[in-house]
Amino acid sequence: MDSIGWIIISLITLFLLGQFALVYRTRGMQGRPAPDLSDLISEEQKAHETLYFYFHSPRCGMCREVSAVLDPLMSERTDIIGIDVSRRPDMARRFKVMGTPTLMRVRDGRIEKVLMGTRHEDVVRAFIG
């Protein structure tokens, strides 16, 4: 095999390892305590047993697909909180968000489930109930 073939195989391997690392890290977040939310959520939102956090960025193409589903719901429901990571990078760091779009379900102060990347509308709607 020539050097071009080895370079291609190496790049594919690095890409797959990166994807595996993201999935592994995302699963590691589940079950952990959520960070302090007192400066992020309102009193009305504190009353919810479950909160949904949507981390997005205006330059993220995949976020537009998820936003098309979530934006109308966020205007109707107080339990879905959108966080623009370009304006609130502190929140992305606090939640250890590694990329956008990321959906996170927090129940009783614990991170219950995390979804990263673009998801079909049915998956997003099922995730937020």
67, amino acid identity: S
- Cβ count within 10 A of residue 113: 16
- Domain of 117, CATH number, reads 3.40.30.10
Stretch (H or E) spanning 56: strand 50-56
Those residues with Cβ within 8 angstroms of residue 53's Cβ, 6 or more apart along the chain or in another chain: 81, 83, 95, 102, 103, 104, 106
The end-to-end CA distance of the chain, in Å, is 51
What pTM, to 2 d.p., does this model score? 0.79
Count of domains for the chain: 1
Tens-digit pLDDT string for the chain (129 aa) = 678 878 777 777 776 665 555 555 665 677 788 888 888 888 888 889 999 999 999 999 889 999 999 999 999 999 999 999 999 999 999 998 988 999 999 999 899 999 988 778 888 999 998
* Residue numbers of the domain that contains 55: 3-128
